[in-house]
Amino acid sequence: MYAINQLPRQDIKHSPTGCCPEFQPKDWDDKKFHFEDKLFLKVDTRNFMHIPLNMGKVFRRAMAEIEAAGVSPGDEYIILSYDASPWKGEHFISVKDTVPGGVMVRISGHYMAKVFEGPYKDAGKWYKQLVNCVEEKGKKAKKIYFFYTTCPTCAKVYGKNYVVGFAEVV
């Protein structure tokens, strides 16, 4: 059974790096999630061949707007990233309520999650693996998002770069 709009908790206040919390893959790997009108702030990045060029700047601004509005979801957060094209990335940051002036999006659907570990350049392989995993379970992947659990600096500190693939399933 799916829990509606619930995500595993991440202790963002007690991060050893002071930035990204240490990720716990067991809480996410091979799990099912159900979103029903889950609220997100949508931001876009400029990409070059799927590589974000301005992600740090865009995310810092978005996080400042979320904090100023007092709508951070706390330790139950997620940022879903979608490559709309080789030139544009769309990122959906979970929030508790509307961010004034922000582009707000509600996402609904059933999702299967798979945790991957490795360099970001492997995202194309992970995409294919996730689609295969979904098909092996008799489902079809409608849309694929990635949750990059740590920034590059924190991934170096932790020695692991975990990424969660989220496949909307039908």
The 10s digit of each residue's pLDDT in 59-75 is 999 999 999 999 999 88
Task: Give the DSSP H/E element, type plus range, for residue 155.
Answer: helix 152-158
Confidence of residue 16 (pLDDT cuts 50, 70, 90): confident
Mean pLDDT of 7-26: 86
Cβ proximity of 163 and 28 under 8 Å: no
pLDDT digits (tens, 9 = 90+) for 80-113: 999 999 999 999 999 999 999 999 999 999 999 9
Whether the pLDDT of residue 13 is over 80: the answer is no
Q: Of 33, 26, 40, whose CA–CA distance to 6 is shortest?
A: 33
**What does pTM read for this prediction?**
0.92
- CB-CB neighbours of 19 under 10 Å: 12
**SS3 of residue 34 by DSSP:** strand
At 61 the three-state DSSP class reads helix
Residues counted in the chain = 170
